[in-house]
Amino acid sequence: MPGMSYKISEEVDFVVVGSGAAGGVIARELSQAGHSVVVMERGPHLRQGDFHHDELAYWFNDEITKLESSPPQSFRKSPGEKASSWGFQSMLYAQCVGGSSVHFTANYWRFHPVDFHEHSLHGDIPGAALADWPITYEELEPYYTKVEWEIGVSGLAGAHPNEPFRSKPYPMPPLPVKSSGVLFEKGAFELGLNPFPAPMAINSVPYDGRAACVHCGFCIGFGCEMGAKSSTLFNMIPQAEATGVCEIRTGANVVRVETNQKGRATGVMYYDMQGEQHLQKAKAVVLSANGAETSRLLLLSENNHFKDGLANSSGMVGKHIMFNGGGTAGAFFEHPLNEYKSVQVTRICHDFYDTDPKRGFYGGGGIDGRVMFGPIAYAAFAGIPGEPGWGNSNKARLQQYPNFMYSSTHCTSLPVETNAVALDHENLDIYGLPGIELTYRDHPDDLATTRFLVDRAAEILEASGANKVWKNPVYEQSFTAHLLGTCRMGNDAATSVVDKYHRTHDVPNLFICDGSSLVTSGRGQPTETIQALAFRAAEHISRFAKNGEI
């Protein structure tokens, strides 16, 4: 019975805040297990037909990434500085049903076993708070497989010599290779590397009642009008609604988790679209509002019992934000590649995934071939270092758009305690509540890793026969879309926010599962891991509920 609607006064089993990559999975799993669920989503419920091919709207005018009710953001590099408000979303995420899974690029990389125990391998790294996860790759593997089959991921199992163990192949073959993929592969093979088809959460063939990709090219930053991108908007959310026990309440801006004298969560306070405040009561609360917004919500929920914010006895809420570092090398080729068509990425390379002590710094990552920009963003942003952005050389650059590609790198970010999201009491939202202040400075090893990988990316482009190759400068604080680690999981309540089952150490009926749960950043593309954690968390949370252990 899609369209289920609970009375606001009615207590439900679970309220889930956020309907994005993690929240969508949690909602479907809990409702299919028979629990009554209300999902609170700040943004609207857009449908396939609402998405359109307008680069200005999505990339320049914040369509789907900013609402009147969104918290303002500010930024500073270090705790001593005063944060300045940028006026735009420096931490980028979609605010609509499906969250950022609506407009993401859909690269779906499993973490490798090594990602879960790097502190044991490398020990303390000065200036960072590297920690082991309380779970292993082996424990998460069945849930990675679940993501690939339930969410819908295309790819080729066994394509890379260092591929971690998998219990099942991908449910769909890889997407057709693009010009960038062919050239990337050529260059990488020349250098003795092992490029392979990119695993993507995009249908290469019709799958699970959804169409195959038609290669429209308006993919990164856009919603998919075909429903071929495997967003929770198209799979988990309708399946949750179909249970008849799950309501997706849109335009619901949650501003507080309420607790009682016993220190238990009783529900969430939210503003509806008319600006009216309501309490949605629930037996348990799950926060899946993403790595920036979940922390804000916990900090906004301080009260006499929880003076430093909810679930924050460790002081770790908001700390250790990680973004995944990254940089690019660019190239022009003799012939047009017409890369503006289709999905972003079809070939990647994981040969530099592991930390290699010989490099002299911690970190590793992956490299891909792609175009990144539509024509307007290319004209605005894809300059060539040392060449003027005007006159004849700029005209020549613009004319070269069809012949252009990037090789893009994605790498580790170390957890640093002072890198944090916190409340900004000087920058208020429309309800008069504090916005989000980001403090962030790259760890030197992250910058060294990025530079190392950009050098490798440029070598691949050179070896692929490009006419011209350049390395873009590695910028500091080039954060945006991956919001990780701010309520990290761990066995020790003094150094982490949630336990290995995503239950907060401080509030027994409050759970957190989204990008904030990650202990380390992986090498980029964290969403498959976020969703594997969500499938696993939901299974345990439902079991706790059924056993009366919440």
Ligand X SMILES: Cc1cc2nc3c(=O)[nH]c(=O)nc-3n(C[C@H](O)[C@H](O)[C@H](O)COP(=O)(O)OP(=O)(O)OC[C@H]3O[C@@H](n4cnc5c(N)ncnc54)[C@H](O)[C@@H]3O)c2cc1C
**Residue 216 contacts ligand SF4 per CB under 6 A:** yes
Question: Among the candidate windows 160-168, 223-231, 303-311, 407-415, which touches ligand SF4 by CB under 6 A?
Answer: 223-231
- Here the contacts of 265-270 (C-beta below 8 Å, separation 24 or greater) are 265/507, 265/509, 265/510, 267/11, 267/15, 268/15, 268/17, 268/40, 270/40
Residue recorded with tokens 């944090």: 420
**Residue 219 contacts ligand SF4 per CB under 6 A:** yes
CB of 152 to ligand SF4, least distance (A): 11
CB of 110 to ligand X, least distance (A): 11
Of the candidate residues 48, 139, 194, 218, the single one contacting ligand SF4 (CB under 6 A): 218
**Residue 215 contacts ligand SF4 per CB under 6 A:** yes
Q: Which amino acid is located at 544 in the chain? A: F
Question: How far is the first Cα of the chain from the last one, in angstroms, to the nearest whole number?
Answer: 28
Site for ligand SF4 in 269-288 (CB under 6 A): none
How far, in Å, are 144, 145, 230, 537 from residue 140 at the CA level?
6, 9, 20, 11
CB of 26 to ligand X, least distance (A): 9
Quick one: 230 or 412, whose CB is closer to ligand SF4?
A: 230
CB of 53 to ligand SF4, least distance (A): 9
Element (H, E) at 518: none
CB of 198 to ligand SF4, least distance (A): 13
- List residues binding ligand X (CB under 6 A): 17-23, 40-43, 92-93, 95, 99-101, 103-107, 220-221, 252-254, 288-290, 293, 297, 481-482, 514-515, 525-527, 530
Torsion over CA of 297, 298, 303 and 306, rounded to 10 degrees? Answer: 180
Q: DSSP H helical segments within 340-488, as ranges? A: 375-381, 391-399, 444-463
Question: Among the candidate windows 87-95, 211-219, 271-279, 537-545, which touches ligand SF4 by CB under 6 A?
Answer: 211-219
- Name residues whose C-beta falls within 8 Å of residue 23's C-beta, 6 or more positions apart in sequence: 16, 17, 39, 41, 99, 232, 286, 288, 289, 514, 534
**Rounded to whole angstroms, how far apart are CA atoms 331 and 326?**
17
Q: Which does 215 bind (CB under 5 to 8 A by kind): ligand SF4, ligand X, none?
A: ligand SF4
Quick one: 130 or 322, whose CB is closer to ligand X?
A: 322
- Name residues whose C-beta falls within 8 Å of residue 536's C-beta, 6 or more positions apart in sequence: 139, 140, 143
CB of 60 to ligand SF4, least distance (A): 18
| Backbone φ and ψ of 391, nearest 5° | 70, -160
The residue whose Cβ lies closest to ligand X is 20
Contact track, ligand SF4, 339-358, x by CB under 6 A: ---xx---------------
Of the candidate residues 37, 102, 213, 337, the single one contacting ligand SF4 (CB under 6 A): 213
Residues near ligand SF4 (CB under 6 A) are: 202, 213-219, 222, 224, 226, 228-229, 342-343
